[in-house]
Structure 1
Amino acid sequence: MATSPMLRLNILAALTGAAVACLAWLFLQAIDGVQWLFYRDGGFLEHNYGVWILLVPAAGGLATGLIIKYYAAEARGHGVPVVMEAVAVNRARLGTHVALAKGAAAAICIGTGFSLGRIGPLILMASTFGSEVGQRMGLSVEETRTMVGCGAAAALTTAFNAPLGGVIFAIELIVTEFRTRSFIPLVVATVIATAVARAIKGDISAFDSLPPYSLNSPLEYPLYLVLGLLAGLAATGFIKLLFGFDRMMTAMHQLPLPAQTALGGLTVGAIALAFPEILGNGFDITHGMLQGTADTARLRGPGGLLTIDNMALLLAVLFFLKLIATSISIGSGGSGGVFTPSLFLGAALGATFGLAVAPLGFTAPAGAYALVGMAAFTAAATRGTLTAIVLLFEMTGDYQIILPLMLACVVADAVCYVLSEHSIYTTKLAQRGVHIDLGAEQDLMRMLTIEEAMSRDVMTLAPDTPLEVAISRLEDTGHMSFPVLEEGKLVGIITWADLHNAVVNRDRHMTVGDYCVREVLTVTPDDPLTRALDLLGQKEISHLPVVDPHDSTRLVGLITKGDIIKAYNQRRLVRRKLSWDQNGESL
């Protein structure tokens, strides 16, 4: 008797959930082991290195740079974008060697003090396990995508003891669909992962022992709205700063990658001389902010020359320094995630705001604003608004403040959406020409590039070509336009309408140069199809020359409305052939 495809998929999802829970425990132990090796029992905050703390992240950066340079370049940065790209455009295929390199590099980076998180690398490793299961078991591409989502959901679930948050994360950011065929396996994977993880380390909330926060007064709603606005603005700044550093370091290609990562570690170590709270993922510091505490008694800097006894000022300083340290850690080529640092940043912002409005007399404790700020900042930076809302509820076990949290999250997401086209996960992909829309279903027009649709064999004319010849070629070939080249450089374009006007005006004796359009709209091969479609629609034309991105006079192809429609329909056909329609009814 043949096994039901749905039953087989759910059995594999259960196995993936169990395996990922064990993998997550091993990875977290590896990070703790590296941290203990370098900092011993004092951890990041109570080490005895003094000024020599500079060298610990630098050494970790050097080791990480060597791994990335000589083993797997894809291990650089945070792992979630790699998974999103694989699901969207690479048939859900992820390389095992990249996952192994990512695990080793991230454990070294985070353990030695880079301001990075553990979630991104863990999601990449877990998703790779799901991809390998799908490929080795002969699953279809759509089934393999679901297995990748199962790995990602199980990873987040295990890290934060948040099964519902894991499912929502996978639906919202990885598989980007809400259908029975994927939802059931995701739930199975997270349930099994949760059971195994709790058997290993107990049923403890990620942020336990928090005071019961609630809305003290309806007058607080406008304050939470303002906090949402601030979180959206801050998340936008974080995205731009992060990838600004990344572009700056990429431009320094004459400096070898290991030297770049070592330099990044050295810079993070320099910040940690006075503010060691920025080292690592900052999870314990975030927990303290949620409890309304911060270490204002610490002597800071070489010789303890600096103290900050004002808690609001200290939290504001930590926010800005963590923002810079995380941007440097990623930009310099470090390997780690940005999800947990986003929690730190949001909590610091929220706690600072809570202390600032406390004199009003009717507000909740600063910890409540830290909790809401943490969710709002993460929602805006990742564009995973529902994930942030559900995850923060599960991580804290506190439902009393859910309404202000929801309000702040949607406001923050809306602000960041207006100010930044891409999220912290999709910006790097967009820079490489991979456009991912985090809607209910991927927008194929944004995922396809002009290079995939354009015609490379282009018939051209010279400016001195007689119009009579151009008219003859139009009639013989049926082409509706001809780019005009002079000495190999694009100088214009002549269309059917231009030639028709020449005939009406009885100007057949004139040349192409007399009638061609000189101000030519162009696109490049890396642009998404949406750009070509927008230009064609705005100017009511049917064709665009495609030029070299570095030389706008060098013609490399031509794209028409017909080319766009053909490419779109071909991709839709491929998706339909690969999709699994049995048990695929939408919920």
Structure 2
Amino acid sequence: MYIRFVNYLDTLNQYRKSKLSNRNFLIILAVIVGILAGLAAAALKSLTHHIEEFLQSDWHWKYKYYLYFIFPMIGIFLTVLYIKYFIRKSKFETGLTPLLYAISKKSSRVEPHNIYSQIITAAITVGFGGSTGLEAPIVTSGSAIGSNLGRLLGLSYREITMLVACGAAAGIAGAFNSPIAGIVFAIEILLPEFTIPAFIPLLLSAATAAVVARLFYTQQLFFLVTEGWQVNALFYYVILALLIGLFSIYFTKANYAVKGLFYKVKSPYSKVVIGGLMLGVMVFLFPTLYGEGYITIKNLLSGDYLAVINNSIFSDYNNIPALVVLFTLVTIFMKSIATLVTLGAGGNGGTFAPSLIMGGLIGFIFAYAVNLTGIAELNVANFIVAGMAGALGAIMHAPLTGIFLIAEITGGYILMVPLMITTAISYAVNRSSQKHSIYTKALADKGELLSHEDKDTTVLNQMKLKYLVEKNYPQLNMNELISFKMKDILQSHKNICAITDEIGDFKGIIYVEELFNEMINNADKESITASHLVQSAPALIHSDEDLKSVLQKMEQDNVWILPVVDGTNRYMGFVSKTAIFNKYRALLMRQNDYMG
């Protein structure tokens, strides 16, 4: 059955190559990815909201509100159980970092289970009150659709990467009904470089997903009523941007600190209990932390400035403006901790939605506080919207995504100038302290990040050392008579030999020129063994090294070729600059021909 299926795919590929160009074929596939990712986004939102509705409205029990202490822990526990028993053969990872790693180091291969497992686990985590967002899971799900469709059809790395980006763009477009933001997100975050032809598949994929998702959800996420912005308020937008920039630096550092604390807890169930209880207490004290939190921003935008405190145990004090300010300020920091605790404890989700919530609350509290002082009369809704864009742009290092996403989901295009100013400044503040975003820092520290700025590293990261190892060099045993191997050495036309022991451990090298000199000048040449001439290699290359490191070793030792060994020092072959440069040129040529 499998062989027949493979033969059918091969026949289909041969047919389409004779009838369609790569460009047209990718456009068709982009539309298919858009349809599937749009359905995935609708499924995730629907499943999450059904769980939330059941827990909050449909399920009637007089003591059920006491369970809000443990609802988040139940959600995380179910997520951990699902991962343990249903995803046993593959590794399950959350957030966008694994997706960036897949593009950089795994030839854009995203595990197939991500198509559905991200939807199931994110819906359970967020539906039960986990304080994360659904956007990162739907981006991963959409990208998995694109990756596996491309691999199924035998496409190249670049073509699969394009479909991965199409899936990500479609995921954002479907989740927010924002196709432009989806396109910008894919370009800013995922694509190592952007070309105009690549824009067409992204556009069609995002637009298709938005249409499909709209068939299930016609409601706009946020409603913004505004008459525009005032020039004399620009100073306050700058102050807001500086505050958000500083907060984004705190959030980035808190992310690594909380991850580090949970990393020390070895038992996954201990993580669930610790994180779940912490989250339950925080949600009880600050109800805004439950789930995504979009409802709070909706209420604030509609003019209900007491929305943050009204559903809490402190609602009786909502007539004290100073307490409203203080409570909202604490909620902002609690939201950051709640999000990181949810992820650290084993829940699934992302920091996309929390970034919007925290930024919106910062914008609200800033404008509300300024209005209370009487210094100025600011449009609170405008500052909420600007805060969301600024936080998203700064935390994710995606300023264009922040601007266009917020403009689309709020209908606030009239605020484009304040959005641009706030996002640009907050991003610049964060970038001055954090060179990489929370998604890319771990990869950058390991040298595994595709770089827009360093094109050489980007191309080298796409190349695998194991495919460049040459195994046709003469290999001699330490105690082997060289005279017995002379014929093989001559026929190989190589200028270097590898020397190993009986079990294949690498011992050194012999240069053929020196070997010939010894054989000519030594009267006892018939008794010469490899051990008489062996010398240490200038450097050793390990099979798991990246090619940038390999070239650095070659430059440092001024050599053109080096031996390669595995983790146990077993000889594997040689790698040469010639092979690396030839592969490098081939990749550049493929990129130039891409979508031609």
TM-score (normalizing by structure 2): 0.74
Report the 3-state secondary structure (helix = DSSP H, G, I; strand = E; otherwise coil) of the residue aligned with 1:401.
Answer: helix
Check whether the contact 1:274–1:300 (CA below 8 A) recurs between aligned residues. yes
For residues 233 and 380 of structure 1, what CA distance do their matches in structure 2 show?
9
Please name the residue that 1:26 is paired with: 43
Deviation at 1:432, TM superposition (A): 5.5
Please name the residue that 1:286 is paired with: 297
* Aligned residue among 127, 133, 150 for 2:149: 133
For residues 386 and 59 of structure 2, what CA distance do their matches in structure 1 show?
31
- Structure 2 residue 364 is matched with structure 1 residue 351: yes
Report the 3-state secondary structure (helix = DSSP H, G, I; strand = E; otherwise coil) of the residue aligned with 1:286.
Answer: helix
- Structure 2 residue 184 is matched with structure 1 residue 168: yes
For residues 355 and 548 of structure 2, what CA distance do their matches in structure 1 show?
31
For residues 380 and 545 of structure 2, what CA distance do their matches in structure 1 show?
46
For residues 56 and 40 of structure 2, what CA distance do their matches in structure 1 show?
24
Report the 3-state secondary structure (helix = DSSP H, G, I; strand = E; otherwise coil) of the residue aligned with 2:412.
Answer: coil
Give the aligned residue type for 2:365. Answer: T
Alpha carbons of 1:397 and 1:13: their partners in 2 closer, same or farther (altered >3 Å)? Answer: same
Deviation at 1:125, TM superposition (A): 0.7
For residues 344 and 36 of structure 2, what CA distance do their matches in structure 1 show?
32
Report the 3-state secondary structure (helix = DSSP H, G, I; strand = E; otherwise coil) of the residue aligned with 2:413.
Answer: coil
Alpha carbons of 1:446 and 1:237: their partners in 2 closer, same or farther (altered >3 Å)? Answer: farther
* Aligned residue among 60, 63, 78 for 2:78: 63
Greater Cα radius of gyration, structure 1 or 2: 2
Deviation at 1:173, TM superposition (A): 0.9
Alpha carbons of 1:152 and 1:448: their partners in 2 closer, same or farther (altered >3 Å)? Answer: closer
Matches within 5 A, 1:142-541: 142-202=158-218, 204-208=219-223, 210-218=224-232, 220-253=233-266, 255=267, 257-292=268-303, 293-295=305-307, 298=310, 300-301=312-313, 310-358=323-371, 359=373, 361-430=375-444, 434-437=448-451, 439=453, 443-444=457-458, 447=461
Give the aligned residue type for 2:434. Answer: S
For residues 425 and 265 of structure 2, what CA distance do their matches in structure 1 show?
37
Give the aligned residue type for 2:229. Answer: L
Give the aligned residue type for 1:63. Answer: L
Give the aligned residue type for 2:392. Answer: T
> Structure 2: where are the runs of 5+ without partners?
1-17, 470-494, 497-540, 560-567
Deviation at 1:88, TM superposition (A): 2.1
Q: Which moved more, 1:363-372 or 1:374-383?
A: 363-372
Alpha carbons of 1:445 and 1:12: their partners in 2 closer, same or farther (altered >3 Å)? Answer: closer
Deviation at 1:533, TM superposition (A): 9.5
Check whether the contact 1:60–1:262 (CA below 8 A) recurs between aligned residues. no
Alpha carbons of 1:583 and 1:433: their partners in 2 closer, same or farther (altered >3 Å)? Answer: closer
For residues 525 and 412 of structure 1, what CA distance do their matches in structure 2 show?
42
- Cα shift readout 1:164-187 (whole Å, capped 9, x = no counterpart): 111111111112322133211111
For residues 403 and 277 of structure 1, what CA distance do their matches in structure 2 show?
30
Identity of aligned residues (%): 27
Please name the residue that 1:457 is paired with: none
For residues 581 and 200 of structure 2, what CA distance do their matches in structure 1 show?
30
TM-score (normalizing by structure 1): 0.75
Give the aligned residue type for 2:584. Answer: R
Check whether the contact 1:64–1:258 (CA below 8 A) recurs between aligned residues. no
Alignment length (residue pairs): 498
Check whether the contact 1:89–1:447 (CA below 8 A) recurs between aligned residues. yes
- Structure 2 residue 14 is matched with structure 1 residue 16: no
Report the 3-state secondary structure (helix = DSSP H, G, I; strand = E; otherwise coil) of the residue aligned with 1:178.
Answer: coil
Alpha carbons of 1:438 and 1:59: their partners in 2 closer, same or farther (altered >3 Å)? Answer: farther
Check whether the contact 2:174–2:213 (CA below 8 A) recurs between aligned residues. yes
Matches within 5 A, 1:544-563: none
Give the aligned residue type for 1:21. Answer: G
* Aligned residue among 119, 124, 128 for 2:140: 124
Deviation at 1:49, TM superposition (A): 3.2
For residues 248 and 12 of structure 1, what CA distance do their matches in structure 2 show?
43
For residues 291 and 566 of structure 1, what CA distance do their matches in structure 2 show?
65
Please name the residue that 2:125 is paired with: 109
- Structure 2 residue 55 is matched with structure 1 residue 38: yes
> Structure 1: where are the runs of 5+ without partners?
455-477, 480-522, 544-554, 558-562
CA-based RMSD:
3.9
Check whether the contact 2:116–2:141 (CA below 8 A) recurs between aligned residues. yes
Give the aligned residue type for 2:284. Answer: L
Alpha carbons of 1:85 and 1:104: their partners in 2 closer, same or farther (altered >3 Å)? Answer: same
For residues 420 and 526 of structure 1, what CA distance do their matches in structure 2 show?
28
For residues 117 and 335 of structure 2, what CA distance do their matches in structure 1 show?
26
